[in-house]
Amino acid sequence: MPLDAKIPGGPLAEKWDRHLFELKLINPANKRKYDIIVVGTGLAGGSAAATLAELGYNVKTFCIQDSPRRAHSIAAQGGINAAKNYPNDGDSIWRLFYDTVKGGDFRSREANVYRLAQVSNHIIDHCVAQGIPFARDYGGLLANRSFGGAQVSRTFYARGQTGQQLLLGAYSALSRQIADGKVQMFARREMLDLVVINGQARGIVVRNLINGQIERHDAHAVVLCTGGYGNVFFLSTNAMASNVTAAFRVYKKGAWFANPCFTQIHPTCIPVHGTYQSKLTLMSESLRNDGRVWVPKNPGDKRSPSQIPEAERDYFLEEKYPSFGNLVPRDVASRNAKEQCDMGKGVGKTRLAVYLDFADAIKRDTKAVIENKYGNLFQMYEKITAEDPYETPMRIYPAVHYTMGGLWVDYNLMSTIDGLFVMGEANFSDHGANRLGASALMQGLADGYFIIPYTIGGYLAGAELPDVSTDHAAFKETENEVQSRTDKLLAINGKRTVDDIHKELGLIMWEYCGMARNNEGLEKARNLIQQLRGEFWENVTVPGSGKDFNQSLERAGRAADFLEFAELMIMDALARQESCGGHFNEAYQTEAHEARRDDENFCYAAAWEFSGGDKEPQVHKEPLVFENVDLSQRSYK
């Protein structure tokens, strides 16, 4: 099967309008004849479920938490981008498009990114109409701030809780549809497999996490909004329950997985402090608007920060990148922090941290102003570290944060399985090899509010969809597979806990497939992962039963999938013999230690096809064609 991204013809700026006209429609009275399953209730899933129900479709929505309001989009802090140009500083749809393509190191699709920039303004309009309490200036108009990889202020924000507010907006819209009976909400359910009938996605099999019951749900189409796979590293900024299971199960059912090695390491997180640690906490990128990143000039300098005079401080980002300064993109900032620590200039007990210092900003703007902008972040930092960042600089270090890779989708956001759509972080579509700050919220809501409502109609109107019910043999078969997998996990009765093995996997991935990679390390990691997977299936212990509320069993299923998925990441990293964005292969770097792309050989999205059993997956290449921007070496100097 050749990869057809179904990108509409015509000039870039007209593609989406043209496509909207060409997409088939379903009349309002007929929409109620279609059932759509939406899995996940984050920004993408919540907004999609609400909007599809508003249009008249019957929607069934599933989430893993106790309420749709808790999806991990809620933790996004800094903001959401849009090309409104309210500050009058030279922004435009074209500039947002260009910054995003460049920020992604030219490994995303032009047409998708342009569409994202186009709908970005509608998102802000809609969110204000929903009552999102965005920050405002004294005149009552909306305020903006800057984020990495841009020289304009295009980020809208609600203090340091933008993700929370946007998610609660989508949740409130969803709640209205639930009350109207247009959405059936299934909370505390985990999708464990997809049901494919005649090549079409027609339902899912889920586990009811309260009573362990395996349930079947049918529909005319399935929309997957299940987030990213950052927890393959165990320690990440993701929520504890964030996982790859739904995405990996559909990969095994025939959906191709694109660019799994593209992971984002966020530069500003609170450093690791102990082996018991369960997660890493992000300190929003917005802090780099006012905070200055530095390390001591002399390696091994153990003085406290206040004792290190100005002349002996190295503001390495400002020096190396004078035009973007502390606001270089995340991949660049992370690699530079690592480089400083590798040179022995790291700070703190572990020497794996750099300072993020607000002293100058407080002197310039007063403490009250800084508190108003970032109060909740400073408070969170203080709670975790017991240090007051108003008095002493924060210590930060990069941590796994976001995954640009995901299930391959075409321009309609449909995967390689007919009727299976994938949105938000779970797909691969818009961020290339590196995502810019404040763009994840934009993409999730763009997909859910403004893209899927049209493209799913186009699919449903054109597809032949015979009647099926959950009595169909395919449902029975899928349920049996799910059940036997659960039984197998419970029967191992070994000597290591799930978390113990998952942590070991995380260390392997961080060491060999993290901020910097090399071929030898990747090969080694592949072996280690295979061994660890073997050990998991022989020596893990999962207490309790499958017919009960059993959090150990939940984690076991997720870890089992991470153990397989990790190998796919390694294979993808090995196949991509270049550096780009978050994928940094040490063999391919410029003299200034920046990622060196190989556009001649690797200007494509790699989509991996599961080949069954232990067979090597096959890679398919979607060439990325750049007709509107010049492929250049990224420079933020």
Partner 1 sequence: MTKTINLTLKIWRQSGPDRKGRLDTYPATDISTDMSFLEMLDVINEKLTLAGKDPIAYDHDCREGICGMCGAVVNGRAHGPEKGTTLCQLHMRHFSDGDTVVVEPWRAKAFPIIKDLVVDRSAFDIIIQAGGFISANTGGAQDANAIPAPQAAAEKAMDAAACIGCGACVAACPNAAAMLFTGAKISHLALLPQGRPEAAKRAINMLKTMDRLGFGNCTNERECEAECPKEISIVNIARMNREFLMASFFSEEN
Active site residues: 330
Q: For the chain, how long is the longest CA-to-CA vector?
A: 74
Min dist CB 242 to partner 1, Å, is: 8
* Residue type, position 42, single letter: G
SS3 breakdown of the chain: % helix, strand, coil, rounded to 5?
40, 15, 40
Three-state DSSP class for 528?
helix
> What phi and psi, each to the nearest 5 degrees, are found at residue 162?
-60, -45
Q: Which is nearer to partner 1, 135 or 197 (CB)?
A: 135
- How many whole angstroms separate alpha carbon 348 and alpha carbon 251? 42
Torsion of the alpha carbons at 240, 245, 246 and 252, rounded to the nearest 10: 170
- How many whole angstroms separate alpha carbon 46 and alpha carbon 452? 12
- How many whole angstroms separate alpha carbon 155 and alpha carbon 84? 10
Q: Which is nearer to partner 1, 210 or 343 (CB)?
A: 210
Annotate 593-622 with DSSP letters as a single string: S-B---HHHH-EEEEEE--STTSPPEEEEE
Min dist CB 543 to partner 1, Å, is: 5
Q: How far, in whole angstroms, is CA 173 from its chain's centroid?
A: 23
Contact call for residues 605 and 261 (beta carbons, < 8 A): no
Quickly count: other Cβ atoms within 10 Å of residue 549's Cβ.
13
Q: Which is nearer to partner 1, 281 or 483 (CB)?
A: 281
Q: Which is nearer to partner 1, 365 or 499 (CB)?
A: 499
Contact call for residues 226 and 38 (beta carbons, < 8 A): no
Element (H, E) at 402: strand 394-403
Min dist CB 610 to partner 1, Å, is: 29
* Residue type, position 617, single letter: P
Min dist CB 158 to partner 1, Å, is: 6
Annotate 124-169 with DSSP letters as a single string: HHHHHHTT----B-TTSPBP-B--TT-SS--EE-STT-HHHHHHHH
Min dist CB 289 to partner 1, Å, is: 19
* Residue type, position 277, single letter: Q
Q: How far, in whole angstroms, is CA 369 from its chain's centroid?
A: 31
Q: Which is nearer to partner 1, 56 or 325 (CB)?
A: 56
Q: Which is nearer to partner 1, 163 or 291 (CB)?
A: 163
Residues 6 or more apart in contact with residue 464 via CB below 8 angstroms: none
Min dist CB 11 to partner 1, Å, is: 25
Q: For the range 307-314, what are the long-range contacts, defined as Cβ-Cβ under 8 Å and sequence gap of 24 or more?
A: 314/340, 314/345
Q: Where are the alpha helices (DSSP H) in 269-366?
A: 316-320, 330-342, 359-365
Residues forming a β-bridge with 208: 189
Q: Are strands 200-208 and 292-296 parallel, antiparallel or unpaired?
A: unpaired
Q: Which is nearer to partner 1, 383 or 615 (CB)?
A: 383
Residues 6 or more apart in contact with residue 131 via CB below 8 angstroms: 169, 172
Min dist CB 399 to partner 1, Å, is: 12
Residues 6 or more apart in contact with residue 32 via CB below 8 angstroms: 56, 57, 58
Q: Which is nearer to partner 1, 22 or 500 (CB)?
A: 500
- How many whole angstroms separate alpha carbon 114 and alpha carbon 112? 5
- How many whole angstroms separate alpha carbon 491 and alpha carbon 25? 50
Q: Which is nearer to partner 1, 125 or 511 (CB)?
A: 125
Structure tokens at 74: 């809620």
Three-state DSSP class for 549?
coil
Task: Give which of 173, 171, 221 is closest to 41, Cα–Cα.
Answer: 171
